[in-house]
Amino acid sequence: MNTYFRLLKFLPRYKGHFLLAFGCMVGFALSNGAMAYLIGPVMKFLFTSGGGSEINLVPFDLFTVPKEGMMMAIPVAIFVVAAVKGLSSYGQSYFMGYVGQGIVRDLRKMLYDRILNLPLGFFSNTSTGVLTSRLTHDVNLIQTSTSDAVTQILKQSLTIIVLGAVIVSLDWKLSLAAAVALPLSIYPMQKLGKRMKKVSTQGQVTMGALTGLLHEAIAGIRIVKAFCMEGYESTRFQKENEAYTRNQIKTIKVRSLASPLMETLGAFAFAITIWYAAYRIGQGTLKPETFISFFASVIMFYQPIKALNGVNLNIQQGLAAAVRIFELIDRPGEHDTRGAEISGVNESIEWRGVEFKYGAEPVLNGIDLKVRRGEVIAIVGSSGAGKSTFVNLIPRFYDATGGAILIDGRDIRELSLNSLRSKIAIVSQQVILFNDSVKRNIAYGAVELSDNEIIAAAKAANAHDFIMRLPQGYETVIGEGGVRLSGGERQRGSIARAILKNAPILILDEATSSLDTESEAEVQKAITNLMSGRTTFVIAHRLSTVRNADRIIVLSGGAIKEIGNHDELLSTGGEYSRLYSMQFQG
């Protein structure tokens, strides 16, 4: 129930629409009860003879109409009640639909903001498909637990209260006989609700796996086709698709069982009611027209009870989704002290006894290094040596598990994340571009800058010429991941973005490793422009690209084994010399 109350906390923002919806529900319930009650007076008017008698249109003799006036009163009453019922039904559907969509929108935004704020390590262990499924499929299911469920609970409960009042007003003894099935319906409703929640949770997990497979296959469609793996991917998808279908069939079974079960219990109550009513009519203590109104009210009374059972199943399905969503929302985000602001690097960046572990596995051990402002540091080493981890600690994508990184003597964990990351530009091997115009991709994070500044950055990155050859120039939409550009063009676009950011710290992570010789030459010119006047960290497997670095550090086993410039390291005949020989003499 805590999860459900947590969902209901989103309601106060929409209290105006909710109150209007509640008013419409009251109108619907009253008109429903009035329609049931009117059946008795109509039957009495149509099938009894004799003049001068009065007919009650309202319970407890509050309003009576002479029989001769019923010819006009009954059609008018039926029309008015039907009109009120129709308008009330429309009003409660619209206003509660507005509330529900608003809650879903707010919850989706809250979840998206939380996902953006989660630490990078979370995304290493969670697939894109699972997150997409929670943000779309699970959030949509929650609407059944908010507006739809609240609507049905209030609407049907009010209808039950009104019809119950009508039933009791007609004959309280008969109403006790009709209520015999109510206690019997509680246990199966609870049992079916628990089953629905369990099945729904399993279905949402399966949908996450299904979405993940779909995302992987579409994102890697070139590899799928290149390796002729369409059949394999189809088999993987079909396996998850079958699992999801089996789960949905289980859901159908639970839902299908609810309706006949309630109808059987209702039939049992009707049988007892008819038997007792027949006895009372035979004894002359129950009027036929009263029994007709009573019987119509009882039939209408069991409809909302049956609907509430269906609502319980919807609530359990929505709550299963809500639990998964709140699991994400409740996860701790990146640790941000919102501390001091920095303007740049005035003196140095220092690693002081830095250690880092992925879980229990050590990656970096006892890193000590001091980098002067404007210095170019190259990081080399074999795969798995910890090069990417080394630079990922600077923008605090991960936090050191031991020691500290300091900028001008201040621990970076004492700085606000926004201030720290705004001073760092990153160009990586895996270029991230968005399905937007070239201009917006270059100006990502700096949309307030002018077109002239964007063009100047593109020129510095040797990107202006190829951009002008595009169909709409800087306004050309480049597709998801920049698919309409070549590898070299994408890389130069990302360099232009880094130049425009004008950050004092630059990280180049294998920025040219995937390019051909001609593209690399163009990109290298752009990188040279980008590095000017910045404190730069370069990761490269191609050692030819790091020869001009001020210092080269060689990582091995998570520690700095060698440090010096290119010529110094070659002359020592150590690890760097070995790596260099493997590339150029092997």
Task: Please report the pLDDT score of residue 51 as a whole number.
Answer: 47
In angstroms, rounded to a whole number, what is the distance separating the alpha carbons of residues 146 and 103? 8
Task: Please report the pLDDT score of residue 297 as a whole number.
Answer: 73
Tokens at 556, concatenated: 């091995």
How, if at all, do strands 535-539 and 551-556 pair?
unpaired
The DSSP-derived string for 56-99 is EEEGGGTEEEEGGGHHHHHHHHHHHHHHHHHHHHHHHHHHHHHH
Which parts of 378-484 fold into alpha helices (H)?
387-392, 417-421, 438-442, 451-460, 464-468
Helix 288-329 × helix 230-283 angle, to 10°: 150
In angstroms, rounded to a whole number, what is the distance separating the alpha carbons of residues 4 and 12? 14
Does the global pTM surpass 0.75?
no
Percentage with pLDDT > 70 across the chain: 84
Task: Please report the pLDDT score of residue 226 as a whole number.
Answer: 62
Q: Is the CB of residue 539 less than 8 Å from the CB of residue 391?
A: yes
The chain-wide mean pLDDT, for the chain, equals 80
- Give the pLDDT confidence of 50-63 residue by residue, as tens digits: 544 555 555 545 55
- Give the pLDDT confidence of 203-231 residue by residue, as tens digits: 777 877 777 777 777 666 766 776 677 78
In angstroms, rounded to a whole number, what is the distance separating the alpha carbons of residues 122 and 476? 34
Report the range of poorest mean pLDDT among 306-310, 341-345, 353-357, 431-435: 306-310
- Give the pLDDT confidence of 251-275 residue by residue, as tens digits: 777 777 766 776 677 677 777 777 7
How, if at all, do strands 551-556 and 559-564 pair?
antiparallel
Tokens at 226, concatenated: 């290149």
* Side chain identity at residue 60, one-letter code: F
Task: Please report the pLDDT score of residue 406 as a whole number.
Answer: 93
Options 1.10.443.10, 3.30.450.20, 1.20.1560.10, 3.40.50.150; CATH for 2-329 is 1.20.1560.10
Beta bridge partners of 556: 559
Helix 15-47 × helix 147-170 angle, to 10°: 30
Cα–Cα nearest to 555, from 567, 540, 545: 540
- Give the pLDDT confidence of 362-397 residue by residue, as tens digits: 889 989 999 999 899 999 888 778 888 899 999 998
Tokens at 288, concatenated: 């036929």
Q: Is the CB of residue 95 less than 8 Å from the CB of residue 17?
A: yes
Q: What letter would DSSP give residue 357?
A: E
Cα–Cα nearest to 305, from 203, 84, 480, 152: 152
CATH of domain 434-502: 3.40.50.300
CA–centroid distance for 449 within its chain: 32
Q: Is the CB of residue 415 less than 8 Å from the CB of residue 340?
A: yes
Name the residue ranges covered by the structural domains of the chain. 2-329, 434-502
Q: How many residues does the chain have?
A: 586
Tokens at 483, concatenated: 């698919």
Cα dihedral across residues 83, 87, 90, 92: positive or negative: negative
- Give the pLDDT confidence of 69-109 residue by residue, as tens digits: 666 777 777 788 888 888 988 888 888 888 888 888 888 88
Q: Do domains 2-329 and 434-502 have the same CATH topology?
A: no
Q: Which residue shows structure tokens 């990188």?
A: 527
Q: Is 420 helix (H, G, I), strand (E, B) or coil?
A: helix
Cα dihedral across residues 108, 113, 117, 123: positive or negative: positive
Residue 493: pLDDT over 60: yes
